[in-house]
Amino acid sequence: MSAPHFFALGATHQTAPLAVREKLSLDAEAAAALHGELATVAGLREFALLSTCNRIEFYGVAETADAAARVEAAFCARQKFSVGEFEKFRLSLRDLAAVRHLFEVAAGLDSQMLGETEIFGQVKDAYAGAQAQGSAGPVLNRVFQKTFQAAKFARTHTAITEGRVSVANVAVDLALNIFGGLAEARILLLGAGEIGEKTARAFQSRGAGALTVASRRLERAMELATQLGGSALPFEQREARLADFDVVVGSTAAPDLVVSRAAVVAALRRRPARPLFFIDLALPRDIDPAVAALENVFLYNLDDLAKIAEQNRAAREAEIEKCRALLGTRAEALWRQVEGRIGVCSQADEAPNRPANLSSDEISSA
Amino acid sequence: MFALLTDRQWLWLAAGFYLAVFLTGTLALRRGRPHSSVFNYLLMVAGYLCQLTGLYLRGRAVGGCPLGNPFEIFQFTTWSATTLYLVIGVTFRSSMLGFFTACLAAVLSLVSLSIPAWDATRRAGLFGTNPWIEFHAALALFSYGVFALLALTSLMFLLRNYSLKSKHVSGWFSFLPSILDLDHIGVRLLAAGVALLTVSLAVGARWWLPNPASVDGVKIICTIAVWVAYGLVLGLRLGRKVLAGRFALICLALFAAALLSLWAVNDSRHGEETGKIAQATR
């Protein structure tokens, strides 16, 4: 087993619990320092480091069987984590299995939230980091470029990324189905709790314009409004000012309804041509369920949103095998090309870690 | 090159293209994926060009705008709706509008082609030597094309509204435009249709008023009724008296009534028929 090989080494949410991942996580500074240390590891010809909240992974080309073990030792030493303990949670793959794993990671197939696309950018960042540090060579260049192509192909040709799978994002999608865009939409957040805040942030991340917070504790409403860059509204004015808003998110802990049907009817009279969207995330409910029967009013409660999120998740899961098969075929094709290159480079090139001098455009278009 | 096929053969070809867009769109929707908008747009353009050629050949044969029988009226209305879709459909950024337009175009084209009786009588020189009368008729039918597109966007509005109210938002419902976008498109189409029909009627009135007996009473009543009805709906919508689902339902019902009125208009002309060239151009 001393032949040069391609490897993947690390710990992910699939192999390690959160408490362990916390101890293994690297901030940017620590990652840069570790990069410097790994550059001196004997027998390690190329490497890249992928660090996210759900995984810490090293991809590399090793000249010798013990190079990966040296990477592991260097990492554990930096994190002050026992190597023996690390091995309990370790992900360790070689050659084709390692390539296939990288493909699946980039396509979001290995993510905690199946099909999420943020990981694609994080893999790109990992590759760009290796490029910048000079630790990516011909093998990693080839593997990563093909990884990006394969992940894009899988995303385009399967439904692995379709549909939102979190309640907050489902709510935002529904608002888009009603209003088209969110730049002009005015959002009223009733209650200043965590779930309301998450939903408000989801709206903001998708371009929502004006946000107003109304809470039974005005100071808390003002505090959250400041954090979110919005404004606060005295809670008792919520019904009188209803006509000023397009989306109302109810997330209070109030024991009774906080928006009545009569208030909604009155608001509709003042804005008859514009729909009103109510998102009731509260238990007990904040919005009178009777408003759902009104024309131009749309009401979704927590169960409705959770059901849609679950449907989307099920639809993504139904695509896993198709996606895995697509990626597997491409991983095998790539491995047939790369396998020989690892051996050839090993014999011909004594100088390690030469960058391929790809421009940032080439990286992003890969 | 046009003479390679007869006018009806060109129109069959056009119907085939429209049907292809509709079928590929249906298959894509069944798979829960949006169909290729570029590919289908090109198919729609191909269908449109075939229909344009067919109508051009027919127009040359009858010596004017081909609006002399139900077949020609349906073909011209379909062509108007497709013209509008090709011009403004891209602005709406809705592949579903193309899907529904293809559906309407395929149905109207195939139905009109499949009923030989509708095309049994061809009227040559229908508009005499007065180009303004021909312009009036063409513009009136073009406004019907706008109303056809309005009916489609109204149908899309009702489907989107149903999906949101019933909480069935996945699958092919997810490809429908937003409620607000559909509402805005509907109002603009209604305003454009009413404006076109108004201009058409104004042009017609310029020649009808000096000689009221020149036009059949049924035609006058039907045309004015359609114009008043659409104008009224526009007024009520702008005054925010009729909104959302009710507005969409009324637009759908009005288009059905407007299509039926074309029958009455066409039948009323039988008595005043002047020339026929039945079978002449087949």
Kindly report, residue by residue over A36-75, the tens digit of the pLDDT: 889 888 889 999 999 888 899 999 999 888 889 999 999 9
Average pLDDT, chain A: 86
Task: Please say whether the beta carbons of B112 and B75 come within 8 A.
Answer: yes
Q: What's the rounded mean pLDDT across residues A282-303?
A: 91
CA distance A270 to chain B (A): 11
Tell me the three state secondary structure of residue A7: strand
For chain A, give the percent of residues with pLDDT over 90.
Answer: 45
Helix (H) or strand (E) holding A93: strand A91-94
The pLDDT-based confidence of B175 (bands split at 50, 70, 90) is confident
**Range with lowest mean pLDDT among A201-215, B57-71, B106-120, B123-137:** B123-137
Give residue B260's pLDDT band: very low, low, confident or very high (50, 70, 90).
confident
Shortest distance between the Cα of B37 and any Cα of chain A, in A, equals 15
Query: Before A284, cis peptide (omega within 30)?
Result: yes
**Burial class for B96, CB neighbours closer than 10 Å (0-12, 13-18, 19+):** buried
Per-residue confidence band for B28, with pLDDT thresholds at 50, 70 and 90: confident
Question: In what order do the strands lie in the sheet containing A297-301?
Answer: A231-232, A211-214, A187-190, A247-250, A276-280, A297-301
Q: Check residues B60 and A214 and name the one with the higher pLDDT.
A: A214
Is the model's pLDDT at B92 over the cut of 70?
no
Q: How confident is the model at residue A148 (pLDDT cuts 50, 70, 90)?
A: very high
Cβ partners under 8 Å of residue A234, min gap 6: A214, A218
> Looking at the complex, does the CB of residue B183 fall below 8 Å from at least one CB of chain A?
yes
Q: Of B33, B178, B245, which has the smallest distance from its Cβ to A180's Cβ? A: B178
pLDDT at A21: 86
Residue A178 is nearest to which of B170, B178, B243, comparing CB atoms? B178
Res A362: pLDDT: 37
Q: Which residue from A163, A176, A304 is facing B178, i.e. has the nearest CB?
A: A176
For residue range A80-98, list pLDDT tens digits in order. 899 999 999 999 999 999 9
Task: Confirm or reject contact between B32 and chain A (CB < 8 A).
Answer: yes
Q: Sorting pLDDT into bands at 50, 70 and 90, what band is B172?
A: confident
Residue B33 with chain A: CB contacts under 8 Å: 159
Contact A275 B244 (CB under 8 A): yes
Q: Which residue of B has its CA nearest to A164?
A: B170
Q: Residue B48 pLDDT > 60, yes or no?
A: yes
Q: Report pLDDT for A355.
A: 37
As annotated, the active-site residues of A are 53
CA closest to A246 among chain B residues: B180
Of A173, A180, A312, which has the smallest distance from its Cβ to B180's Cβ? A180
Q: Does the reported pTM lie above 0.90?
A: no
C-alpha span between A24 and A90 (Å, rounded): 11
pLDDT digits over A223-280, tens only? 999 988 899 999 999 999 999 999 999 998 888 899 999 999 999 999 988 999 999 9
Q: Which of A216, A301, A299 is nearest to A254 (CA)?
A: A216
Residues of A numbered 266-295 whose beta carbons fall under 8 angstroms of chain B's beta carbons: which are they? 272-275, 292, 295
Q: Report the share of chain A in percent with pLDDT over 70.
A: 93
Q: Which of A177, A269, A302 to probe by mutation at the B interface, max B CB count within 10 Å?
A: A177
Amino acid identity for residue A59 in this structure: Y
Q: Which residues pair with A298 in a beta bridge?
A: A277
CB contact under 8 A, A295 and B183: no
Q: How far is A296 from chain B (nearest CA, A)?
A: 7
Give the chain B residue whose CA is nearest to the CA of A299.
Answer: B165
Q: Residue A360: which pLDDT band, with cuts at 50, 70 and 90?
A: very low
Predicted complex: ipTM over 0.95: no
Residue B13 has pLDDT above 80, yes or no: yes
Model confidence pLDDT, tens digit, residues A322-335: 889 999 999 999 99
Percent of chain B scored above 70 by pLDDT? Answer: 85
A180-208 pLDDT, tens digit per residue, is: 888 889 999 999 888 888 889 889 888 88
Under the banding of pLDDT at 50, 70 and 90, the label for residue B91 is: low
Cβ-defined contact of A178 to B33 (cutoff 8 Å): no
State pLDDT tens for residues B218-245. 778 888 899 999 999 999 999 888 888 8
Cβ pair A298:B245 closer than 8 A: no
- pLDDT for residue B158: 95
- Indicate if the pLDDT at residue A8 is higher than 50: yes
Q: At A277, give phi and psi (nearest 5°).
A: -115, 120
Return the higher-pLDDT residue of A114 and A122. Answer: A122
Best of B93, B167, B234, B240 to substitute, by most chain A Cβ atoms within 10 angstroms, is B167
Taking CA atoms, A173 is separated from A34, A162, A163, B219, B240, in Å, by: 41, 12, 9, 49, 27
Give me the residue from A177, A292, A296 closest to B244, CB to CB.
Answer: A296
Flag whether pLDDT at B64 surpasses 50: yes
Least confident of A134-143, A348-357, B174-183, B270-279: A348-357
